[in-house]
Amino acid sequence: MVKKAELHVHLEGTAPPALVRKMAARNGAKLDPTTFKSVGEFAWSNFWEFLDCYDKAAATILTKDDYRLITYDYLARCAKENTIYVEMFSSPDHAAEVGMSYTDHLEGIAAGIDDARLEFGIEGRIIVTCVRHLGAERALAIARLVALTPHPYVVGFGMGGDESRFHPDDFAAAFNLVTKAGYQTTSHAGEFSGPESIRASLAALPISRVGHGVRAIEDPELLEELAYRRIPLELCPGSNIATGLYKSWGKHPFRKFMDTGCLVTLNSDDPPYFGTSIGHEYEQAAKIFGLSKADLKNITRNAISAAFCGEELKEKLLSRL
Ligand code: ADE
Ligand code: ZN
């Protein structure tokens, strides 16, 4: 099995329905019954409903040990698929929503990373993210936490959420602050908004990767620019198909990005919501886009090269390929 590395996965979005129920039960937390469509499925039918459902499920992550548990559980599943490195988005806004402090939230995740490393040899790091639709002030507050409270596993800053809300310019202060503090950054762009959203993000924010960026396919000049500048793209085909951006794997433009010379990576985004996993993304990409083992290995190499962790860890990971 090819070794894998993942750069784009939302930690709160990795907990499957059974784990969400388990956390709710052990915390005596109320679980909104509209969270699930069936025993094993989250209930949502478009991107905005997905974001809503994500928030309801995340509201069951109440303690430091819950964060440890979801992190460990996710990394254990990744390790079984021969994944050697995961860079995961964590959202202090979701933690704050249930009354958890920034440091408790990080310490819980760090404990999960340590436990998984000990048992499976997998390595993990954290990208702290803000939520775009919560606005610029919240983003700046999160950026300040990142800059002023360093943690050895926090390697970057990111932004998810509803891309149709606000303008990248509104978040320049937050991104500039963490960049000055020495962190690399990434932002979701060109997922649900078009190529202009990617252009605006690249112009306004000091990002070194693009989250998704898939809609650059609609703008040949931008596609060429992304390839020329070797800007890593965190592509998430299974997510794009589940949210209805493309009708099927056969219609996804992944192969075109690769053939244009873009630096592509494969990612699962919110795996149990989208019926996927990092292993499934690699498997489907091989089958549908006709990728060889060497292609897949190169995608892993791309991910490690584009990772925000330090050079020493990158060298160690690359030597494992
Ligand atoms: N938050 C969690 N998953 C997301 C996605 N796919 N796009 C934007 N924000 C998200
Ligand atoms: Zn995402």
**Which numbered ligand comes closest to the C-alpha of 209?**
2
Is residue 234 lining ligand 1, measured as CB closer than 6 Å?
no
**Which numbered ligand comes closest to the C-alpha of 57?**
1
Q: Could you say which of 87, 191, 234, 281 is catalytic?
A: 191
Residue with CA closest to ligand 1 atom 6:
269
The span from the CA of 122 to the CA of 131, in Å, is: 28
pLDDT for residue 40 = 94
* Percent of the chain whose predicted confidence (pLDDT) is above 70: 100
- pLDDT digits 0-9 by tens, 195-251: 999 999 999 999 999 999 999 999 999 999 999 999 999 999 999 999 999 999 999
pLDDT at 140 over 90: yes
The span from the CA of 267 to the CA of 8, in Å, is: 5
pLDDT for residue 314 = 98
The pLDDT-based confidence of 274 (bands split at 50, 70, 90) is: very high
Helix (H, G, I), strand (E, B) or coil at 125: strand
For ligand 2, the distance from its centroid to the CA atom of residue 231, given in whole angstroms, is 17
Q: Could you identify the atom of ligand 1 that is nearest to the CA of residue 129? A: 1
Is residue 54 lining ligand 1, measured as CB closer than 6 Å?
yes
Strand partners, 131: 160
∠ Cα 44 48 50 (to 5°): 35
pLDDT at 45 over 90: yes
Average pLDDT score over residue span 58-79: 97
Q: Where are the domains of the chain?
A: 4-310
CB-CB contact of 300 with 263 (8 Å): no
- pLDDT digits 0-9 by tens, 5-38: 999 999 999 999 999 999 999 999 889 999 999 9
pTM of the full predicted structure? 0.98
Is residue 188 lining ligand 1, measured as CB closer than 6 Å?
yes
Is residue 269 lining ligand 1, measured as CB closer than 6 Å?
yes
Mean pLDDT for all residues in the chain: 97
Q: Quick one: DSSP state of residue 269?
A: B
Q: For residue 87, what is the enclosing H or E element?
A: strand 83-90
> What letters, b where the CB count within 10 A reaches 16 and e where it falls short, cover 73-97?
bbbebbbebebbbbbbbbbbbbbbe
- pLDDT digits 0-9 by tens, 148-164: 999 999 999 999 999 99
C-alpha radius of gyration, the chain, whole number: 18
Amino acid at 243: T
The span from the CA of 77 to the CA of 279, in Å, is: 9
Look up 191 and say whether it is catalytic.
Answer: yes
Is residue 6 lining ligand 1, measured as CB closer than 6 Å?
no
Homologous superfamily (CATH) for 4-310: Metal-dependent hydrolases (3.20.20.140)
- pLDDT digits 0-9 by tens, 82-136: 999 999 999 999 999 999 999 999 999 999 999 999 999 999 999 999 999 999 9
Pocket test residue of 12, 49, 51, 214 for ligand 1, highest count of atoms within 8 A of CB: 51
For ligand 1, the distance from its centroid to the CA atom of residue 319, given in whole angstroms, is 32
The span from the CA of 48 to the CA of 54, in Å, is: 10
Is residue 64 lining ligand 1, measured as CB closer than 6 Å?
no
pLDDT for residue 29 = 86
